[in-house]
């Protein structure tokens, strides 16, 4: 944060020499640009929140007005239609995917970065190659394989491919973290007679919390928001996830925007709140791709 104060001084000093108009512009144009864009970001979000408690007529005829009376039944309707069941499924799939994904990725990334064994380079290269493949590029065979395993419409059929798709990214991020991990600490533990397991769990992992947290946040957001695989791998209501539930809702209430937006809002607000509370970690998780 000290960088910012430096900048401040630089800006202030630089402005002393200039013409007052130039100075005023230099000071305010950045605000005008950024604040207007913040408005562009916020207006749709606020619109969703407001529209979700309006009547349909109000949404259609005065999109930016306040509701005459708050229509809570738009929210009751969500639970009457059983949407909580989809939310539960999404929670199971997200937690069921991210936890094992992060564990196996930590293990693999650590071994690949810090151990010497045959095939190490090849395995890492293979993982790097598939780092960016989108699910639609393997969708058809993946569907058949999962079907052959009898895993369509099961948690396993949703979870296992998510774990696999998440592994390359997680391994790459953790690999580069472990690669820079100070060797002396491990060496000291080894001289104390610690087994590799002890070194990983007692020495390396406690110091890797930021990297692991970044991966967890990034993958949680990805899996929670995933849509394509969830829509192909589930057909009935039994294992439907919230992203598909929203499309179903849109089909059911096509022109009843407040009901649809109530679901959108219900799904959007908790994540936004978590993000605002933990935004430092979110930003690091996403900026982490640049590290």
Partner 1 sequence: MIYNRKVHGTYFDLVMVLPALLLFSIFIVWPAVEAIFTSLYASPNRGGDFVGLANYREMVGDPVFWIAMKNNLLFILCNLVFQVGIGTIFAALLDRGVRRFSTTMRTIIFAPLVIAPVAIGVVWSMLLEPNFGMVRQLANTVGIKLPSQGFLGNPDLAFYSIVAVGAWNYIGFMMTIMLASMQAIPRDLYEAARLDGSSAIQTFFHITLPGVKGALILCSLIVIVGSFKTFEIVYVLTRGGPGNTTQVLGTYIVESAFTLFRPNYAAGMSVVVLIVAIFFGSLQVLTSRKRK
Partner 2 sequence: MIKNGLYATGIAMSALLANVATAETTVVFQGMGAEREAFNKEAIRLFEEQNPDIKIDYSWVANEPYKTGIKVMLESNSPPDLYFVWAGSFANDFVDSGVAENILDSYERGDAWGEAPAGVVDQFRYKDGLYGAPGQLYTKYFWKNDAFFEENNLTAPETIDELIGMCHQIREIDPLMTPVSFGASESWTINHYLTILFQRHVDLETMQGDWHLTNDEENLWAHPGYLNALKDFKRLETEGCFNDGINSVDPGVSRTMFATELAAMTFCGSWCPPIFNSEGFEGKYSAFPFPKVEGGAGDQTGALVGVQGYQVSAATEEREATLKFLSWLLSPEMHALQARLSGQLSANATALKEGDLPKESVDLLNRVAQANVSVPPLNTIVETSVSDVILKSGQDLVAGTVTPEEFMERVRTQALEAKSRM
* Listed ranges 37-45, 69-77, 81-89, 207-215: which one lies at the site for partner 1 (CB under 8 A): 37-45
Q: From CA 40, how far away is CA 37, in angstroms rounded?
A: 5
Angle formed by the axes of helices 83-114 and 120-129, nearest 10°: 140
List binders of partner 1 among 134-153 (CB under 8 A). Answer: 134, 136-142, 144-145
List binders of partner 1 among 214-243 (CB under 8 A). Answer: 221, 224-225, 227-228, 232, 243
Q: Does residue 93 come out as left (phi exceeding 0), alpha (psi in the -120 to 50 range) or beta? A: alpha
* Listed ranges 7-15, 52-60, 66-74, 178-186: which one lies at the site for partner 2 (CB under 8 A): 52-60
Residue 201's binding partner among partner 1, partner 2, none (Cβ under 5 to 8 angstroms by kind) is none
Which position has the token pair 């929203």? 246
Residue 181's binding partner among partner 1, partner 2, none (Cβ under 5 to 8 angstroms by kind) is none
List binders of partner 1 among 73-92 (CB under 8 A). Answer: none
List binders of partner 2 among 137-166 (CB under 8 A). Answer: 143, 145, 147-157, 159-160
Which residues, other chains included, contact 25 with Cβ-Cβ below 8 Å and sequence gap of 6+? Answer: none
The DSSP output letter for 201 is: I
Contact 117, 111 (CB under 8 A): yes
Q: Whole-number minimum distance, CB 147 to partner 2, in Å? A: 5
If the CB atoms of residues 57 and 68 are measured against partner 1, the closer one turns out to be 57
Q: From CA 82, how far away is CA 228, in angstroms rounded?
A: 22
Residue 252's binding partner among partner 2, partner 1, none (Cβ under 5 to 8 angstroms by kind) is partner 2
Which residues, other chains included, contact 90 with Cβ-Cβ below 8 Å and sequence gap of 6+? Answer: 224, 241, 242, 243
Q: Using CB under 8 A, list all residues that contact partner 2.
A: 56-57, 60, 143, 145, 147-157, 159-160, 231-232, 235-238, 247-248, 250-256
């Amino acid at each position: 944060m000290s960088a910012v104060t430096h900048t401040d001084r630089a800006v202030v000093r630089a402005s002393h020499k200039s013409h007052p108009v130039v100075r005023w512009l230099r000071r305010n144009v950045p605000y005008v640009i950024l604040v207007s864009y913040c408005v562009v970001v916020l207006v749709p979000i606020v619109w969703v929140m407001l529209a979700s408690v309006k009547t349909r007529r109000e949404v259609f005829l005065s999109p930016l007005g306040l509701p005459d009376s708050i229509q809570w039944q738009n929210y009751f309707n969500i639970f009457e239609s059983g949407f909580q069941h989809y939310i539960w499924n999404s929670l199971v799939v997200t937690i069921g995917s991210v936890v094992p994904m992060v564990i196996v990725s930590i293990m693999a990334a650590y071994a690949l970065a810090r151990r010497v064994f045959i095939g190490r380079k090849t395995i890492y290269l293979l993982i790097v190659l598939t780092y960016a493949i989108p699910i639609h590029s393997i969708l058809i065979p993946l569907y058949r394989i999962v079907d052959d395993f009898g895993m369509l419409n099961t948690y396993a059929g949703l979870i296992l491919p998510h774990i696999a798709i998440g592994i390359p990214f997680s391994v790459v991020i953790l690999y580069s973290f472990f690669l820079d991990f100070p060797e002396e600490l491990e060496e000291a533990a080894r001289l104390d007679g610690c087994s590799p397991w002890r070194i990983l769990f007692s020495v390396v992992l406690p110091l890797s919390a930021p990297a692991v947290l970044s991966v967890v946040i990034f993958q949680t957001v990805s899996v929670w928001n995933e849509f394509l695989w969830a829509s192909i791998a589930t057909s009935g209501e039994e294992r439907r996830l919230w992203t598909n539930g929203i499309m179903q809702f849109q089909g059911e209430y096509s022109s009843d925007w407040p009901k649809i937006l109530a679901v959108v809002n219900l799904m959007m607000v908790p994540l936004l709140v978590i993000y605002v509370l933990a935004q430092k970690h979110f930003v690091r998780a996403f900026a982490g791709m640049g590290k």
